[in-house]
Chains A and B, each alone.
Chain A
Amino acid sequence: MPTTEQKARAEIYRNAAIEHVGVAIELYDMSRFVLSNYVAGLAAECMLRAYRHMIDPEFDSRHELSKLYQLAGFADTVPPSQVENVTAALGDVVACWSNDHRFLSAAALRKRWTKQRLYAGIKGDFVKEIVRRTVNAASLLVSIGDARWNSSFRE
């Protein structure tokens, strides 16, 4: 059973997730792709941390989102009909976000993603397209997390 302090901290993470997704969309619309991508991933991390915090406030996932997804029990909140979409969204964020992206210039991020061959299968500006996917994916994860919050932690 989460304590009052746990719940309060988890709510902070949850609210941050919702705010950050909005900021990520605004940054994308301004073509600020490095920060848009970073903030979108951060939003997803905040929502996963919110869920994890309700289970155990002591954890260190080292910003490894796939691990955090498991530790947070997020999969248990996803309806079976949504598993493919939500897992795809998580895959987009895991593949295209790193906590150290905040230190990168636009050119450095493009270079890193080129090395990872993330351009494959994408026509046009692949950085813009990948960021679009990350923002969409983060939006879905945050939306699902927020929508399922009450039913997941109903007392």
Chain B
Amino acid sequence: MEQFIQRIAQVLQQQFPGGEVDLERRGSDRVSGFLIWSGFEGREQIERQHEVWKVLRTQLEQVDQLKVAAILTLTPEEMAAARKG
């Protein structure tokens, strides 16, 4: 699973240069986390998700896509505010 997490992180970092990827294992076989990227500024969440999933669908086998539970897409400012709760 660690290799799988590294692979997703690598794929996302290639497509979203400068983005911070923070993923963690969920249960035995799923992954979730964050992609924090300044390039998301001014774009709606649904556009960001379409972009991330376009990459994942291109780069991962279908069976591996099902292992990705959720990757939240935030800008650095949004993430900083969210961490304050």
Q: Which residues of A contact B (CB under 8 A)?
A: 62-66, 69-70, 73, 75-76, 78, 80, 83-92, 94-95, 98-100, 116-118, 120-122, 133, 137
Instruction: Give Cα A119 to B32, complex, Å.
Output: 28
Contacting pair B46 A70 (CB below 8 A): no
Contacting pair B72 A94 (CB below 8 A): yes
The answer to whether residues A116 and B82 also contact, given A66-B34, A87-B70 and a CB cut-off of 8 A, is no
Residues of chain B lying within 8 A (CB to CB) of residue A98: 81-82, 84-85
Q: Beyond A76-B27, A121-B42, list 9 extra A-B contacts (CB 8 Å).
A: A73-B26, A75-B26, A84-B49, A85-B49, A90-B70, A94-B82, A98-B85, A100-B84, A100-B85
Asked if B69 is at the interface of the complex by the 8 Å CB criterion, the answer is yes
Contacting pair B70 A69 (CB below 8 A): yes
Contacting pair A91 B74 (CB below 8 A): yes
**Chain B 19-56 near chain A by CB (<8 Å), digits 1 or 0:** 00000101100101010000001111110111001000
Contacting pair A75 B74 (CB below 8 A): no
Which among B34, B43, B45 has the highest number of chain A CB atoms within 10 Å? B45
How many B residues have CB within 8 A of the partner chain?
33
Instruction: Give Cα A83 to B30, complex, Å.
Output: 13
Contacting pair A121 B70 (CB below 8 A): no
Contacting pair A88 B81 (CB below 8 A): no
Contacting pair A88 B77 (CB below 8 A): no
Instruction: Give Cα A84 to B27, complex, Å.
Output: 20
Contacting pair A70 B45 (CB below 8 A): no
The answer to whether residues A83 and B70 also contact, given A75-B26, A88-B49 and a CB cut-off of 8 A, is yes
